[in-house]
Structure 1
Amino acid sequence: MIEVKDVTKVYKTKNGELTAVDHVSLSIQKGEIFGIIGYSGAGKSTLIRLLNGLEKPTSGSVVVNDLEISSIKGKELRKARQKISMIFQHFNLLWSRTVAENIAFPLEIAGVPKAEREKRVKELIELVGLKGREDAYPSQLSGGQKQRVGIARALANNPEVLLCDEATSALDPETTDSILSLLSDINERLGLTIVLITHEMHVIRKICHRVAVMQAGRIVEQGSVLEVFRNPQAEITKNFVMQVSDSREAKEAIKHILKNYPAGKVVKLTFVGNTSGQPVISYLIKEFQINVNILYGNISETMDGPYGTLIVQLDGDPENVEKAMEKLKTMNIQAEVITK
């Protein structure tokens, strides 16, 4: 569906050249939700603008649905953009238009007859859960409702790709979850390919199938969300995963146990997929006659299955503790000893 091949984007500034995207290659499959995560300045927004032709690469190519977006222009590019829609962090609604009129706007530009426009707008209002708010103005809507209008407007021309530029960053956590659930539902019902950029790992965990991590214009890591959670390689990826899997309470518990209970080992167990349902603790206690003190536990759902962490203290005969650690490896459970 989307092929980004060795793309570089260089801007010329008064202070010299600035490389925003540096030799990036990506392959995004039809019908998947693909996340691109990175901190401010990583090049995410530039990359997403390259996908819809708002920016042209300095080198490399961008192909969307067999059409090389990076080389077309004029009428051909405008036609291609009708199949590549975008939603934004700050909604970008027309404040003098009602909900229905905002959604109808791209259909007006495309020359769709009035009766057909009205029918389509009604369908989209139902789809995004805004029935009864058709005649409201943006100033009368909550942040979540504004983003629902933005999503409906983006879907008006039946796009094949939906680009989401920090679409939930301006929303509170509860509203963020509702918008992410809506996007996931749209992906399933319409088979729409969604490319989502964010700086929040919670967003990636919630709805993405695969993820690419950006830093300083480059892709430093990519893969399935579950695999990236299970075995992050780059330091920045580890920091993002920590946002979701490790809490302040967990860190405080570890600090306390290391200080007050120096005996035994403090171990972080990582469970992926089916392993998250195994009765590990009771098995270790019975099989190896060791004490297992649970310090902290957390399970997060990803699109490909659960990912869980459990921080425990293993205490008892040192030989039995080592045997227990070895057994964990055979159960496909990652065990990492935590030290002071």
Structure 2
Amino acid sequence: MIELKELSKVFDTGKGSLKAVDDVSLSISSGEIFGIIGYSGAGKSTLIRLLNGLEKPTSGSVTISGQNISASKGQDLRKARQKVSMIFQHFNLLWSRTVKENIEFPLEIAGVPKSKRNARVLELVELVGLAGRENAYPSQLSGGQKQRVGIARALANDPEVLLCDEATSALDPQTTDSILELLVDINKRLGLTIVLITHEMHVIRKICHRVAVMEGGRVVELGDVLTVFQAPQQEITKRFVAQVTDTEDSNETIKHLRELYPTGELVKLIFVGDQTEQPILTKLIRKYPVDINIVHGNISHTQRGAYGTLIIQIKGTQPEIAQALAFLNEESIQTEVMA
């Protein structure tokens, strides 16, 4: 569906050249929700602009549905862009137009007859949950409603790809979740391929099938979201995963417990998928003469299944603790003794 090959983008600045995207190669399947995460300056915004032809690569190529976007010009590029829509962090609505008029704007530009425009707008208003608000102006809408208008407008020309540029960054957590749920619903109903960029791992966890982690213009880690949560390889990825799996309170608790209980081991357990529903600790306590103290626990749900972390203190003799850890490993529970 989307193929990036050795993609690079260099900007000339007054102080020299800046490589914003550095030799990126990856494939995105049709119907996939693909996340690109990175901190400011990682190159993710430039990458998404390369996807819709707003930027031309210095080298490499962008191919969408068999068409080389990076080499297209004029009418061919305009046609290609109709199949690649985009929603933005700050909505970019026309404030002098109603909800209905904002949604039908791209259809006007495309020369769609008024009768067909009206039918399409009503369909999209229903799809994004704005029935009854067709005649409202942006100033009369909440942030979440404005983003729903932006999504409906982006879907007007029946695109194959929807690009989301920090689409929930300006929203509160509850509204963010409702917009993410809408994107998942649209993905399932329409089979739409969605590519989103963000600096929030919560967004990736909530809706993405796969994720690319960017740093310094390069993709430093790429994989299924559940796999990345289970075993992040790069330090930057570990920091992102910690956004939704660790808390300062747990770190303080661990420090406090180390002071109170100098014996035993503090162990972090990682559960994936069906493991999160199994009584592993009950089995452990029944089988071995160890004491278990639960310090901190958290379960996150991804599109591919659940991911849970549990920090426990195991008290007993060293042989007993070793047997307990061996049992957990036999049960395919990933363990990490916390130093």
Question: Could you state the TM-score of these two structures normalised by the residue count of structure 2?
Answer: 0.99
Cα deviations by residue, 1:318-339 (Å, 9 ceiling, x for unpaired): 1011011111112111110112
Q: Distance in 2 between matches of 1:141 and 1:332?
A: 50
Q: Distance in 2 between matches of 1:233 and 1:278?
A: 27
The equivalent residue for 1:156 is: 156
Structure 1 contact 91–147 (Cα < 8 Å) conserved: yes
Q: Distance in 2 between matches of 1:226 and 1:60?
A: 30
Amino acid aligned to 1:69: I
The equivalent residue for 2:30 is: 30
The equivalent residue for 2:189 is: 189
The equivalent residue for 2:292 is: 292
Q: Please tell me whether residue 135 in structure 1 is matched to residue 135 in structure 2.
A: yes
Amino acid aligned to 2:47: L
The equivalent residue for 1:271 is: 271
Query: CA RMSD for the aligned pairs?
Result: 0.6
Which ranges of structure 1 fall in alignment gaps of 5 or more residues? none
Q: Please tell me whether residue 333 in structure 1 is matched to residue 333 in structure 2.
A: yes
**Aligned pairs (5 A) from 1:99-248:** 99-248=99-248
The equivalent residue for 1:7 is: 7
Q: Distance in 1 between matches of 2:130 and 2:248?
A: 38
Cα deviations by residue, 1:269-327 (Å, 9 ceiling, x for unpaired): 00011111111111111111100000111100000000000000000121011011111
Aligned residues: 339
Q: Which moved more, 1:5-14 or 1:249-258?
A: 249-258
Q: Distance in 2 between matches of 1:38 and 1:258?
A: 34
- How far is the alpha carbon of 1:255 from its aligned partner? 1.3
Q: Distance in 1 between matches of 2:213 and 2:181?
A: 22
Q: Distance in 2 between matches of 1:20 and 1:50?
A: 11
Cα deviations by residue, 1:224-282 (Å, 9 ceiling, x for unpaired): 00000000000000000000000122112111111111110000100011111111111
SS in 2 for 1:122: helix
Q: Distance in 1 between matches of 2:288 and 2:147?
A: 54
Q: Distance in 1 between matches of 2:24 and 2:332?
A: 33
Q: Distance in 2 between matches of 1:163 and 1:328?
A: 42
Q: Distance in 2 between matches of 1:115 and 1:198?
A: 38
SS in 2 for 1:48: helix
Question: Could you state the TM-score of these two structures normalised by the residue count of structure 1?
Answer: 0.99
SS in 2 for 1:196: strand
Q: Distance in 1 between matches of 2:328 and 2:4?
A: 40
Cα deviations by residue, 1:166-224 (Å, 9 ceiling, x for unpaired): 00000000000000000000000000000010000000000000000000000000000
Q: Distance in 1 between matches of 2:86 and 2:22?
A: 23
Percent identity over the alignment is 69
Cα deviations by residue, 1:43-94 (Å, 9 ceiling, x for unpaired): 0000000000000100000000100000001111001100000000000000
Q: Which moved more, 1:250-259 or 1:161-170?
A: 250-259
